[in-house]
């Protein structure tokens, strides 16, 4: 967990700022807007939020739709650098930060769009325009496996359930503990007007919910939603006129192992999540207890266990007890050391399946002091563990400038 290797170069640490943020929020009931419409709305909002105009943007980095589509839709006349990146959003954020730091562009737009497949919700299934959609998430994350599309595939959802079983076999897995994550998510989402969640749940609701892929039940899975988040990234030294408090990228990591797929991942102890967390601590001046707000990716609840343990908040196998020990029964929500919330916006389980861009958006809101009823007092540092243990683990430490 602590530094073991040679000292890392300071690089872009604290030199790149997020100065704009825009979102559509998470829509779960309507299914009438295209991915491009969501992305354009979020991007336009982020540009406005940064106090800029289209002509000020000279770099664009995002997942889907393609950057050329979005650049045209926003009327960007000045693009000098661009990249289509695989989600989660930290890939795009890092590419933008590196491009700005390296002088390839000055002010970059970062975006991620989330969109329900027809099989993921009734509203999406009822939208005839979605019938021919390709699963772009699956395609962008890993090579096809030999059993894709058959009942004998561990790709995507089945893989997380299979590794949850592995966790259970190695350490034990209590449903009463795992369920606290869903309760935390839905409790927190109540204070988030952008959330798709319909309200709080109890642990009994969790325990009674339908098993989908053992040992994970319905409430262990994120809420499919439509929407987009966007961010504006620029040099921290050029933020004097930014309308909002700049948020600095202190450290960002996307590590892989040499077995980056669901079937072949070496072990719980040696995964993309542990590799990413270890590298984050090599690059971060702050340690686990220095953060005022914690974001853990929760496309499936079990992933939060892996991040908690990899970041060193508890020992391997200790996540369930950690949840119990840091539970605030009055709030029906997690408060680490009585103060620090986990996924205060509700995360993917409670806000919606943003693949992590909602976590980043909320982190920026918290560090700006603009998180409304969810605001953590004097939040200065935020840590994010985004993605899963196979092929898309990403960690970020964000901080305020002062």
Partner 1 sequence: MTEGPVAQWDERLRTKFPGASVDHDSAPYFRGLLEHRLLVNRCADCGTWHHPPRALCPACHSEAVAAEPVSGRGVVYLVTLLRQGPRAPGVDYASAPHPVVAVELDEQSGLRVTGTVTGCAPTEVRIGQRVRLSWLDRDGCPVLAFTPDREEGL
Q: Among candidates 260, 277, 284, 344, which has minimal Cα distance to 314?
A: 277
Distance CA 121, CA 111 (A): 24
- Give me the least distance between CB of 306 and partner 1, in Å please: 14
61: left (phi over 0), alpha (psi -120 to 50) or beta: beta
| Nearer Cβ to partner 1 (91/142) | 142
Q: How far apart are CA 193 and CA 197, in angstroms?
A: 10
Structure tokens at 222: 């994120």
| Of 139, 176, 214, 289, the one binding partner 1 by CB under 8 A | 214
Task: Enumerate residues 6+ apart whose C-beta is below 8 A from 264.
Answer: none
Residue 262 and residue 163: Cα distance in Å, rounded? 8
Among 66, 264, 285, 289, binds partner 1 (CB under 8 A): 264
Window contacting partner 1 (CB under 8 A); options: 23-31, 48-56, 147-155, 391-399:
147-155
Give Cβ neighbours of residue 37 (< 8 Å, ≥ 6 apart): none
Is residue 337 classed exposed, middle or buried when 0-12, 13-18 and 19+ CB atoms within 10 A define those classes?
exposed
Two tokens at 388?
């899963």
For the CB of residue 321, give the shortest distance to partner 1 in the complex, in Å. Answer: 22
Residue with tokens 């209590």: 174
149 binds partner 1 (CB under 8 A): yes
Helix (H) / strand (E) containing 372 = none
Q: Which two tokens stand for residue 348?
A: 């993917």
Q: In whole angstroms, give the CA distance from residue 334 to residue 121.
A: 29
Interacting span for partner 1 (CB under 8 A) from 11-19, 94-102, 161-169, 354-362: 161-169
Of 29-37, 244-252, 254-262, 387-395, the window that binds partner 1 (rule: CB under 8 A) is: 254-262
Strand partners, 340: 336
Does 153 help bind partner 1 (rule: CB under 8 A)? yes
165 binding partner 1? (CB under 8 A): yes
User: How far apart, in whole angstroms, are the C-alpha atoms of residue 137 and residue 198?
Assistant: 25
At what angle are helices 67-74 and 35-49 packed, to 10 degrees?
60
Task: Tell me: does residue 258 bind partner 1 (CB under 8 A).
Answer: yes
Binders in 277-336 for partner 1, by CB under 8 A: none
CA-to-CA distance for 396 and 171, rounded, in angstroms? 28
Piece in contact with partner 1 (CB under 8 A), picked from 100-108, 132-140, 153-161, 237-245:
153-161
Residues 124 to 143 in contact with partner 1, rule: CB under 8 A: 143
Choose between 79 and 153: whose C-beta lies nearer to partner 1. 153
Please give the C-alpha separations between residue 370 and each of 126, 241, 293, 338, 365, in angstroms, as whole numbers.
Answer: 36, 18, 14, 21, 5
Applying CB under 8 A, among 136, 162, 203, 286 the residue interacting with partner 1 is 162
Q: Smaller CB distance to partner 1: residue 54 or 165? A: 165
Give min distance, CB of 211 to partner 1, in A: 5
Of residues 50 through 69, those in contact with partner 1 by CB under 8 A are none
Cα–Cα distance for residue pair 16/37, rounded to 1 Å? 28
Count of residues of this chain found to bind partner 1 when the rule CB under 8 A is applied: 33
- Residues numbered 184 to 213 that lie near partner 1 (CB under 8 A) are 210-213
Name the minimum Å distance from CB 118 to partner 1.
14
Q: Are 28 and 50 in contact (CB under 8 A)?
A: no
Whichever of 58 and 220 has its CB closer to partner 1, that residue is: 220
266 binds partner 1 per the rule CB under 8 A? yes
Minimum Å gap between C-beta 138 and partner 1 is 12
- Selected from 6, 131, 132, 169, the binder of partner 1 by CB under 8 A is 169
Chain residues 72-131 in contact with partner 1, contact rule CB under 8 A: none
Residue from 145, 174, 202, 209 binding partner 1 (CB under 8 A): 145
Indicate which single residue of 161, 293, 302, 303 sits in contact with partner 1 (rule: CB under 8 A).
161
* Contact positions vs partner 1 (CB under 8 A): 143-154, 158, 161-166, 169, 210-215, 258-259, 261-264, 266
């Amino acid at each position: 967990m602590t530094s073991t290797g040679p000292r890392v170069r300071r690089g872009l640490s604290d030199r790149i700022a997020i100065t704009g943020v825009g979102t559509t929020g998470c829509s779960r009931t309507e299914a009438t807007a295209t991915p491009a419409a969501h992305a354009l709305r979020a991007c336009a909002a982020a540009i406005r939020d940064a106090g800029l105009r289209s002509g000020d943007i000279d770099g664009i980095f995002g997942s889907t739709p393609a950057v050329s589509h979005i650049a045209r839709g926003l009327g960007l006349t000045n693009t000098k650098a661009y990249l289509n990146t695989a989600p989660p959003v930290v890939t795009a954020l890092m590419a933008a930060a590196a491009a700005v730091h390296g002088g390839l562009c000055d002010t970059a737009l970062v975006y991620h769009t989330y969109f329900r497949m027809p099989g993921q919700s009734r509203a999406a299934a009822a939208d005839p325009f979605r019938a021919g959609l390709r699963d772009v998430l699956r395609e962008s994350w890993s090579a096809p496996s030999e059993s894709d599309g058959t009942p004998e595939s561990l790709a995507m959802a089945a893989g997380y359930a299979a590794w949850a079983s592995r966790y259970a076999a190695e350490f034990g897995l209590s449903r009463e503990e795992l369920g606290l994550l869903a309760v935390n998510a839905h409790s927190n989402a109540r204070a988030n007007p952008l959330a798709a969640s319909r309200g709080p749940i109890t642990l009994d609701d969790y325990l009674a919910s339908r098993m989908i892929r053992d040992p994970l039940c319905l409430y262990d899975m994120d809420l499919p939603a439509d929407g987009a988040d966007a961010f504006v990234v620029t040099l921290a030294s050029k933020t004097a006129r930014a309308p909002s408090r700049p948020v600095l990228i202190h450290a960002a990591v996307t590590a892989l192992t040499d077995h980056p797929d669901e079937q072949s991942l070496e072990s719980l102890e040696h995964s993309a999540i542990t590799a990413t967390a270890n590298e984050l601590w090599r690059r971060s001046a702050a340690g686990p207890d220095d953060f005022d707000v914690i974001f853990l990716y929760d496309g499936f609840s079990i992933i939060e266990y892996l991040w908690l343990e990899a970041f060193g908040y508890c020992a391997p196998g200790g996540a369930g007890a950690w949840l119990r020990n840091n539970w605030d029964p009055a709030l029906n929500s997690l408060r680490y050391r009585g103060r620090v919330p986990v996924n205060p916006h509700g995360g993917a389980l409670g806000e919606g399946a943003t693949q992590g861009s909602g976590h980043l958006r909320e982190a920026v809101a918290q560090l700006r002091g603009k998180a409304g009823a969810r605001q953590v007092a004097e939040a200065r540092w935020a840590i994010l563990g985004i993605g899963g243990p196979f092929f898309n683990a990403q960690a970020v430490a964000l901080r305020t400038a002062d």
